[in-house]
Amino acid sequence: MNPTLLPLRLCFLTILLLLPLLSYAQQQVTGQVLRAQTRQPLEGVTITASSGEQTLTNASGRFDLTVEDQAAFILISHIGYKPDTVLMQHLQPGIALQVYLQPLAANLSEVVVTGYESNRPLLETAGAISIIDREVIERFDESSLVRAVNTVPGVRMEERATASYRLSIRGSSLRSPYGIRNVKIYLGEIPFTESNGITNLNLLDAANFNSVEILKGPTGSIYGAGTGGTVLLEPRRAASGERVLQVGTTFGSFGLKRYTASASVGGEKQSLYLQYTRQRLDGYREQSGMDRQTLLLTSIFNPSGKSTIQANLVYSDLFYQLPGGLTREQYEQNPRQARGGTFGSVAQNASMNQQGINLGLSQEYRFSDNWKNTTALYGLFRYRDHPFNTDYERNTNQEYGARSRFLYTTNLGDIGTTITFGGEYQRGFEAARTYDNNRGRTDSLRTDDEVLAKTGLLFTQAEFELPSNWIATAALSLNDTRYEITRLHQAPDGGPYQYTRDFSAVLSPRVALLKRLTDQVSLHGSVSAGFSPPSEEELLTSDGALNQDLEAEKGINYEAGIRGYTLGRKLSFDVVAFHFRLRETIASRQDLSSIAVFRNVGATSQSGLEAALGYTLLEDATQLVSLLKVWSSYTYSHFRFRDYQKDEADLSGNQLTGVAPHTLTAGLDLATRFGLYLYLTANYVDEIPLTDENTVYADAYVVAGARLGLKRELGRHFALDVFAGAENLTDQKYSLGNDLNAFGGRYFQPASPRNYYGGLSLSYRL
C-alpha cells in the first residue's frame, strides 16, 4: 500500500462513517409567512434558528431552512411586525409551517382598516379612526368592554349598572340617559343597530370580538343616519390552519364568575368558530347582579376562487338588575345602597331580562380583478321583560334587513380610482306593552302599541390616488327613516289610533383629502354632514307618551389630523382636531316619575382635540425583556350649548351635559421571553356637568388597574395563560354612568371600589 494514500483513505473512511450522523443531526424546515390581517405573503422576513442558521422569505412568503438538530426554536421577525417563535418540538415532519405575523401598533402603514369601505392602511385613511384589537381587549378581565374602549381618545363608555352600557363618541351621551343612541354599530357586515335606532350591545360579550374599529363624527355618507359615529365589530373567526380547543375561567370580587369555551377549525376553503360564554356577578351595590350567556358561531366558506361566504349566529340570554340613581347625600352616606322609597329598586324589582338571536349571511363575489360585490342579509328576534321603578315594559321585536355594495377599481389616466356604491334597508316590527308595576309584577295595562320602523340608505363614494401621494375622497348618501305607531290601547279609555312620522330623505355628503408626507407620516382633513333622526324610545317614551314635536339632528363636522411614526418606528402618534356645529340638538331630562323625556334644545358647538401616542422602548424576542412599551391617549372637549333657551333661563354658553373637558388614559406593557407579562393602566376623568344649568358636577377622579400573567407552552399541544389583576387600585370613590338632569337629584351611579380578579385559559392545539 502506498503510504502517501493512507491519510486520504482514512479521511474518506471517516467522512463515510460520519455521513449518517451528519444527516441525522440536521432537519429541514419549510413554511410560509403571511400578514395576519390580510393573509397576504410577506417578503424579506428573517427566519433564524436558535442554533444560528438564517434565511429570508421570498416574494411568496416562503422559506426553506436547514437547521441543526440541537436547535430549540426558530424566530420569525420582520420590521414593523411582532416577532413569533416556534418551538422545534411543535413541527410535524413533512408538513409546511404557516405563520401569521401581527403588525405592531406603531406600524400604521400595515394596519388595514375597513372603515369608510376603503380597506386601506390606516396611514392612507382620511378620518378619525381608533382601533381596539384583541391584545387591548385582553389587557383586562373581559367582564365588560368599558375599560378597553376607554383607552382610545374621543370615546367614553360608561356602565350605569352592571351590563347597562352607555357609549359616547364626541359628546353623544347628551341624548342617551341609558342605552346606546346616535351611534351606528355593525357586527361584521351586518347592522347590529336596529331600525328603531336602538343598539343592545350588552347582549354581546367582550370575548366575541377580534377587533373594534371606531369612526368618530358623522359617517352618514357610508353608514347611514348618525351624528355621533360608527362602530365596526369584527367577530372572532378561525384562522386558516387553526385547530384549537380553548377553555377559561375567571373569578373576582363581588361574586364575579366567568366561564368561556371555544372551538376553532380553519382550512383553506372553510373555517368554523364556536364560542360559549357565561358570566355571573352579585354586584357591588344592592340590586346590581347580572347573569349573561352568549353563544357565537361564525363560519367562512370559499366555494370557488371568486366567492367567499360568511355566516354569523349570536344567541344571548341576559339578566341584570338596576339599582337606580342616588342623591349626593345618599352617595356620600352609603354608595352601596339602591334607590329607596315607595318606588325603590328592590321593592319594584327593577331589572332587565332580554333574549335575542341574530343571524347574518354575507357573500363577497369577485367578478374580475376590478369588480366585486358584497351582499349581506340578516334577521333578528328579541324579547324584553323589564320591570322598572315606575312601570313595567314587555316587548318583542322582529327585524330583517340587507346591505349590498359594489366596488370598482380602475385608472382615469394616471389616477387610480376606486368607486363604491350600494344601499342598505332595515325593517323592524315591535309589539310593545307597558303596565303598572306592582312590586315587580305586571298590573293594569297602560298602553299597547305596534311599532313599524323602516330605514333606508343609498350611498356612493369615489377615491382618487392623485400625483405626489395625494388621496381624495368624495362621498354622498341619501337617508330616510319612517315610524308607524299603532296604539291599540291606552288607559283609561284611549285608542286605537295611528301615528306616522316620516323623517324625509336627507343628503349627507363627505369630502376628505389625505397627503402622504413620507412613508411614515400623513396629513388628512375632511368635511362631513350628519343627520340623526330620533330613535323609537325618544318618540315613544316608556310612560306611553308620544313625542310628536321632536325633530332630527343635523350638523356639519370639520376635522384635520396627522398620524404616523418616527424615531426608528418606535414612536407612533395620531392627533386630530375637529369642530362640529349641531342643530336641533336632542337632550334628555327626567320627569316626576323618573321617565326620560327628550326635546330639541337649539344648537351646540363642539370643538376638540384627540391624541394617541405610543413609544416602544424595547421589542426583541431574544432578550429577557422582550417588550417594553408606554402609551397614552388624551381628549380635550370644548363643548358648549348655543341658542338654548329653557323657560326663562338662557343656557347658551353652558358646558355640554355629561361631557368631561379633559380625559387622559396611560399605560405600560411589559413582556418577557419566558412568557411573563404585566399591563398597567391609569385613567383620569375631569369633573362632569350633570345638569344643563351646570349647577351640579360629578367629581374628577383617577383610577388605575394592573394585570400580571404568565403565558407558557406546555408540550406540543397545550398553551396556558394564568393571570391575576386588580381594578381601581387607588380605591377611588366615583360615579360611572351618571344620570343627567335627573329628577329629585338622583344623579349618581356609584362604581366599584378596589376589586380583584384571577383566572386561567387553557388551549389545546389538535
Instruction: Pick the more confident residue, 677 or 27.
Output: 677
* Model confidence band, residue 459 (pLDDT cutoffs 50, 70, 90): very high
Is the pLDDT score of 748 beyond 70?
A: yes
pLDDT at 120: 81
Q: Using one digit for the tens of pLDDT, what is the confidence trace for 492-525?
A: 877 788 889 998 878 889 999 999 999 899 999 9
Distance CA 410, CA 465 (A): 11
Percent of the residues in the chain that have a pLDDT greater than 70, as a whole number: 92
CATH topology of domain 26-101: Immunoglobulin-like (2.60.40)
- Torsion on CA atoms 555, 606, 526, 634, rounded to nearest 10: -150
Mean of per-residue pLDDT scores for the chain: 88
Which residue, among 750, 764, 746, has the nearest Cα to 325 in the 3D structure? 746
Count other Cβ atoms within 10 Å, centred on residue 650: 12
Query: Once rounded to an integer, what is the mean pLDDT over residues 143-158?
Result: 92
Confidence of residue 16 (pLDDT cuts 50, 70, 90): very low
Q: CA 439 from chain center: how many Å?
A: 37
Q: Is the pLDDT of residue 473 over 80?
A: yes
Average pLDDT of 573-582? 95
Average pLDDT on 481-497 reads 86
The number of CA neighbours under 13 Å toward the Cβ of 326 is: 24
What pLDDT was estimated at residue 4?
47
Q: Which pLDDT value is given to residue 7?
A: 44
> What is the pLDDT at residue 18?
41
530: closest CA among 575, 583, 608? 583
The answer, yes or no, to whether residue 374 has pLDDT greater than 60, is yes
683 has pLDDT over 90: yes
pLDDT of residue 544: 66
Tell me the C-alpha distance between 270 and 302, whole Å.
Answer: 6
Predicted local distance difference test score (pLDDT) of residue 591:
65
Residue 384 has pLDDT above 50, yes or no: yes
Phi and psi, residue 743, nearest 5°: -75, 140
DSSP secondary structure, 302-349, as one string: EEETTEEEEEEEEEEEEEEE----B-HHHHHH-TTPPP-STT-TTTTT
Alpha helices per DSSP H over 530-598: 536-539
Do the beta carbons of residue 51 and residue 63 sit within 8 Å?
no
For 169-190, how does the pLDDT look when each residue is reduced to its tens digit (9 = 90+)?
A: 887 666 766 778 788 999 998 8
The residue with greater pLDDT, 476 or 737, is 476
Share of the chain above pLDDT 90, in %: 57
* Domain ranges (residues) in the chain: 26-101, 214-497+507-755
Q: Are 30 and 96 in contact (CB under 8 A)?
A: yes
How far is residue 560's CA from residue 578's CA, in Å, rounded to a whole number? Answer: 6
Residue count (the chain): 766
Taking the CA atoms of residue 709, residue 715, residue 716 and residue 719 in that order, the dihedral angle to the nearest 10 degrees is -20
Provide DSSP, 503-515: EEEEEEEEEEEEE
Pairing of strands 26-35, 97-101: parallel
Flag whether pLDDT at 3 surpasses 80.
Answer: no
Residue range 276-300, pLDDT digits in tens = 999 999 999 999 999 999 999 999 9
In DSSP notation, 344-395 reads -TTTTT-EEEEEEEEEEEEEEEESSSSEEEEEEEEEEEEEEEEE-SS-EEEE
Higher pLDDT, 526 or 162: 526
User: Alpha-carbon distance 166 to 690, whole Å?
Assistant: 15
**Per-residue pLDDT at 599 exceeds 80:** yes
- Residue 106: the pLDDT is 45
Average pLDDT over residues 238-249: 88
Amino acid symbol at 471 = I
What's the confidence (pLDDT) of residue 172? Answer: 66
Mean pLDDT (whole number) for 452-469: 94
How many Å apart are CA 162 and CA 736, to the nearest integer? 11
Give the lowest-confidence range in 90-99, 105-114, 146-155, 201-210: 105-114
Task: Give yes or no for residue 337 having a pLDDT over 70.
Answer: yes
Give SS3 for 154: coil
* Cα–Cα separations (whole angstroms), residue 85 to 72, 99, 618: 10, 10, 17
In the prediction, which pLDDT does 23 show?
42
The domain defined by 214-497+507-755 carries CATH number 1.10.357.20: no
Query: How far apart are the C-alpha atoms of 705 and 697, rounded to whole Å?
Result: 25
How many CA within 13 A on the CB side of residue 389?
A: 19
Q: What is the pLDDT of residues 618-634, one digit of tens each?
A: 887 778 898 899 999 99
